[in-house]
Amino acid sequence: MTQTAGTMTAAGIGGAGKAGSRPKLERAYLQLFEPSKDASMHNPGPKLARIDFQFNPKELVIAKAASWSRKAGKGSAKSAPPQYQGPQPSKLALEMFLDSSQAQSGDVVAVVNKLLECCVPTSESQSQKKGSPPWVQFRWGSLTGFMGYVASVSAKYTLFTSGGLPVRAVCTLSLEELAGDPPKQNPTSGGLLPRKIHRVVVGDTLAGIAYQEYANAGKWRALAEANGIDNPMKLKPGSQIMLPAVEELGARSPAGHAWDSEASAESRKRAVHAAR
């Protein structure tokens, strides 16, 4: 199922039964994922928790905007024509109503805490020193939202027991798209995808860094191109290597680099061996 411009998709009529029968009730939910293992903005990691809506939302607000800029012209009576700078990420705003007034079990507080944790890095990403909150996707029957993250959560408790336990709440969520189509420009020119930085230590090789980040030592050529490295066999300790998302890496290294013809097969073999 292909999404365009970060919009939501709907495949037919969800929950449809036999002719004349009532459609099946579908509950909306938020599916949480671990962040991508290969730095891709389109392939999430393993599934995490699922946060079910107790009551389906009454409305969903989808927003999409474009970035424009105008150059100021001195002495001009009119403003300059706008220049298109690219799309901004899609946004989804919704409310979640929670009520445990009958059971008075404290479930409302537990669900609110789960929502708040969506803004905190996952344990797995922290253990890898790549802190990132879970990726989130809104789903409701046949309706599937874009892959994104929870940009903000606010919870308003509206009913309490005599002992002060919150039993009713209204939560307002804002989800923001992670990324649309992979950018076409050179990764060093400032695309929409976030990038990490690797600080070179003694013994590092581009093949080793590529294997650690992308699970593919062969990405060292594209990594060299993205960072403008003339000689990948001589990395300076303390320098920084930009790690673009996998979509941004070029398929081949550029022609004309001296190291491309000088690097022997044996040295490349040693680099890949060091990566493993």
Name the class of domain 195-275. alpha beta
Tokens 């307002």 sit on residue:
172
Please report the pLDDT score of residue 26 as a whole number.
92
Q: What is the pLDDT of residues 95-152, one digit of tens each?
A: 999 999 988 787 899 999 999 999 999 998 888 777 889 999 999 998 999 999 999 9
Q: What is the pTM of this model?
A: 0.62
Tokens 């797995």 sit on residue:
124
The hierarchical CATH code for the domain 27-66+84-177 is 2.40.30
Please report the pLDDT score of residue 239 as a whole number.
87
Residue 217: Cβ within 10 Å count: 21
CA–CA separation, 1 vs 183, rounded Å?
A: 20
Residue 155 contacts residue 139 (beta carbons within 8 Å):
no
DSSP 177: E
Please report the pLDDT score of residue 17 as a whole number.
52
Please report the pLDDT score of residue 192 as a whole number.
36
Residue extents of the structural domains in the chain: 27-66+84-177, 195-275
CA–CA separation, 130 vs 100, rounded Å?
A: 37
For the chain, 276 residues long, give each residue's pLDDT as a single digit of tens.
Answer: 445 555 778 776 545 555 566 778 899 999 999 998 766 777 788 999 999 999 999 999 999 999 988 887 777 777 778 888 888 899 999 999 999 998 878 789 999 999 999 999 999 888 877 788 999 999 999 899 999 999 999 999 999 999 999 999 999 999 999 875 544 444 444 333 445 788 888 888 888 888 888 888 888 888 888 888 888 888 888 888 888 877 667 544 444 343 444 444 444 454 445 444
